[in-house]
Structure 1
Amino acid sequence: MALDILGITDAVMSHAMASGHFDSVNGHEPKAAPATGGLTAAVWTDRVIPVGGASGLDSVTAVLVLNVRVYASAVSEPADAIDPHMITAVDDLCRAYVGDFTLGGLIRNVDVFGSRGQALDVRAGYLTQDSAPYRVITISVPCIVNDLWEESP
């Protein structure tokens, strides 16, 4: 079995698009600053980790960790509204990823509690892109994918 990276990424992106919180949703980590004044989301692969305890005798299960980053201008006014606006969107996304536990059957499950290492995780910070400051919140979405690679003797 091959990793259905496009299908999985599309499923994660579709939750962001359906939420109604974002002016745009990208399927890659942006090289340039977001073009909108509202919220932007971006989804990309962070890492793929084989999982011994979940693999079988002839196939490898892996955790595909996707980053979902939410961007907002750090100079928006009122400043006190930036984080609540972003956290509302992030809360809706986390609810969607937990609620669509298998991403429509594309994966075994979102590893919400980190049973295979990486838990669903939300981290906030700042990022400067094209000389503009952004408030960012990054969600790590660990997706367990069964029987990803076949082992041969």
Structure 2
Amino acid sequence: MALDITGILDAVVSHAAASGHYERVNGHEPENAPGHGLTCAVWPNRITALRSSGLNTISTLVVFNVRTMSPMFDPPDAIDPTMVAAVDSLCGAYSGDFTLGGLLRHVDLLGAYGQPLDVRAGYLQQDGTKYRVMDIALPCIVNDLWEEVA
């Protein structure tokens, strides 16, 4: 079996696009400044084998970064509430569709395999523009991904 990275990435991106919070949603980490308004960018960050794998198959933890970005041009007091509303919407969507339409065993919301669903805020300088960012670590458990063959 192969990792359906396109299907999983599309499902994660679809939740952001359907939320109505973002002016643009990318399935990659942007190399250039994305412009005005809220932007969401999604990309795979880490793939790790799990100890809960079967006798001859390896299950994996696939962690996606889901980044919400806003330029610092908006009124400063409005940036964080706007971003938290968008991130809250996404966390609710990933909790409510925790198999991403059957593509995963589940989103590891509470971190049974190490990485829980997590949101961290910070700043990013890109192309001379300062952005406020909130990154969601989205841990996805994929069953029986690789076969062990002797």
The answer to whether the superposition gives a TM-score over 0.5 is yes
Give the corresponding residue for 1:59. 57
- Deviations 1:63-122 (CA, angstroms, capped at 9, x unpaired): 000000000012312x10100000000000000001001000000000000001111000
* Distance in 1 between residues matched to 2:115 and 2:49, nearest whole Å: 12
> How many aligned residue pairs are there?
150
Cα RMSD of the aligned pairs, angstroms, is 0.6
Aligned to 1:131: 128
Q: Which residue of 2 aligns with 1:10?
A: 10
* TM-superposition CA deviations, 1:37-61 (whole Å, max 9, x none): 1100000010000001x10010000
- Counterpart of 2:118 in structure 1: which amino acid? D
Alignment of 1:1-153 (within 5 A): 1-35=1-35, 37-52=36-51, 54-77=52-75, 79-153=76-150
* In structure 2, C-alpha distance between the alignment counterparts of 1:98 and 1:8, rounded to whole Å: 15
The letter of the residue matching 2:73 is V
Q: 1-side partners of 2:136 and 2:59: how far apart? A: 22
Structure 2 residue runs without a partner (length 5+): none
With the length of structure 2 as denominator, give the TM-score of the two structures.
Answer: 0.99
Structure 1 residues not aligned, in runs of 5+: none
* Residue identity matched to 2:91: C
Instruction: Determine the C-alpha separation between the residues in 2 that align with 1:148 and 1:124.
Output: 32
Please report the TM-score for the alignment, with normalisation by the length of structure 1. Answer: 0.97
Partner-residue secondary structure (3-state), 1:8 = helix
* Cα distance in 2 between the residues matched to 1:33 and 1:131: 8
- Specify the SS of the correspondent of 2:66: strand
Q: Give the % identical residues.
A: 60
